[in-house]
Amino acid sequence: MKGSDAHDLIAAAREVRRHARAEFSNFKVGAALETADGTIVTGCNVENATYGLTVCAERVAMFSAIAAGHRTFRRIAIVCEPHEPTPPCGACRQILWEFAGDIEVILASLRRETGRHQLADLLPQPFDKRNL
């Protein structure tokens, strides 16, 4: 899917959120990652009874994009039900940083946009290949 503005990205995240498998937490999340060429790759959270095997929407989107051959990214939209901004978890911040760098992170609820951040603001002093 090709997109051009934040509304398209948020709409894609809202749409994929419907497919989330969140039987344990009931916390459904959708993510839409925009590649450098404008392609939108989506992902939703998929829970597992052990919780440790659960995968967040942001990581599903990133891994799907990588599997499709994408290597550079512009921004990601993350949609969940609360009306308050809900930023990505620590694991997702780390994955986003390693594969996308300091991209824009757009947060939204089912009804409205709730915030915009640069990933560096959400993950100060990241661990990456410079630390190895």
Which residue is it, tokens 């989506």?
A: 42
Residues facing residue 118 across a β-bridge: 104
pTM score of the predicted model: 0.93
Q: Which residues pair with 79 in a beta bridge?
A: 30, 108
Per-residue pLDDT reduced to its tens digit, 6-17 = 999 999 999 999
58 is catalytic: yes
Q: Is the pLDDT assigned to residue 3 strictly greater than 70? A: no
Name the catalytic one among 15, 34, 47, 58.
Answer: 58
Q: Region of 125 please: left (phi>0), alpha (psi -120 to 50) or beta.
A: left
Q: Which of 3, 11, 13 is nearest to 79 (CA)?
A: 13
Structure tokens at 33: 């990652």
Tell me the per-residue pLDDT of 31-85, one tens digit each, with 9 for 90 and over: 999 999 999 999 999 999 998 999 999 999 999 999 999 999 999 999 999 888 8
The enclosing H or E element of 96 equals: helix 90-100
pLDDT at 90 over 80: yes
Structural domains in the chain plus CATH codes: 6-131 (3.40.140.10)
